[in-house]
Amino acid sequence: MPVGIGEQVAMFLTQEQESIRELARDFVERELKPVSKPLETGDLDILKSLWGKMAETGLTGLPFPEEFGGAAVDSLSYFLVLEEIARVSAALATSLSVHVSLSGLPILYYGTDAQKQQYLPDLVAGRKIGAFALTEPNAGSDAGAGLTTAAKQGGHYVLNGSKLFISNALIGSVFVTTARTSPDVAGPKGLSAFLIDRDTPGMTITKGDEKMGLLGGDWGELHFDNCKIAESQRLSDEGQGFKLFMRSLNIGRISIGAISLGLAQACLDASVQYAKQREQFGKPIADFQAIQFKLADMALKIEAARNLVYNAARLKEAGKDFALEASMAKLFASEISNECAREAVQIFGGYGYTKDFPVERYFRDARVMTLFEGTSQIQRTIIARSILA
């Protein structure tokens, strides 16, 4: 049993949750670990193959209703899967998170019956992969400042503009995106949400800039040049796009918290194993108090992060307001994953700086967790506003 996943945690998991976690762990051991290194080369064929195997295992549609082919599992079960996958590949876990949390679930929660029937069976089964397009060159943390437009012409909308930093752009089939339907209305109130298929004329997809981490996943840019879509492709009412995405991001924040948690746990597991094997001054470095204190602090903070993430998941499942707890979980877990990755590299010493050991990758992968789904500064702003209100 990995460090930190002991009897205390298992006691509070239902039999179904434990079974789902074991299902994910089996997939990781059987399918993901053997290709984790070649996946880092950015080979999309390997990524697509893993997606096929996730689909076969049933991991692509866990939280969706059975009527669409899903398993109808609870929220925590889904986040446990992300945590397990992230211990070996935060890139694949992120890809799955975007597909479920930011693409499929918005359709489930806000789509019309026709939209659900059109998209969810394929997304749930993994026959199609979902993506989420919000960020623009001028609109990052200020997501409501997007300039991509959707001009209504009869029963259609014509989109012009671009999106960047889009996870799953190169392998995605369905894009949930925002565009400004009210050009005279500045800020979030002028944005609406749309569903766009990959082969829609007027939309082109290009590979994104070279990135620091998550090399096993893809990202890219979307470019709209008089991209014409039917009015029926609008998701929810006009002007509701920003609210829709902000609600979706609350789920996404728990997802990133779970992925960060898996990364942090991987750092601790690797560090414990290495500290027991590595000898200096005639004994394992695990015998030195300086190393012990690092391991103790990592374990302590991981457990604190785990409780925040699991608590946010349970609040969501109970139908309670979980926005504050989602921000807390995402903020703390993402920063702890960075701290644990930094300490893991330090424990490994010079070897931690080489690509022969996984902690170098954990260090790079963890860095983006404080940027995804709202930066740490944005999370602190949300938390502060909530408690001051």
Instruction: Give buried/exposed letters for 78-91 (b at 16+ CB in 10 A, else e).
Output: bbbbbbbbbbbbbb
Q: Which residue has the tokens 């492709």?
A: 233
Given CA atoms 219, 221, 224, 225 in this order, what sign does their dihedral have?
negative
Spatial distance between the Cα atoms of 73 and 276, rounded to a whole number of angstroms: 38
- Here the tokens at position 65 are 């209703």
Q: Are strands 174-180 and 130-133 parallel, antiparallel or unpaired?
A: parallel
Phi then psi for 236, rounded to 5 degrees?
70, -170
Side chain identity at residue 220, one-letter code? G
**Cα atoms in the 13 Å half-sphere on the side-chain side of 159:** 30
E strand spans, 217-334: 219-230, 234-235, 279-280, 283-284
Whether residue 16 lies in the annotated active site: no
Would you say 164 and 135 are in contact if contact means Cβ atoms under 8 Å apart?
A: yes
Among the options 84, 221, 335, 373, which is catalytic? Answer: 373
Spatial distance between the Cα atoms of 35 and 53, rounded to a whole number of angstroms: 12
Active site residue ranges: 373
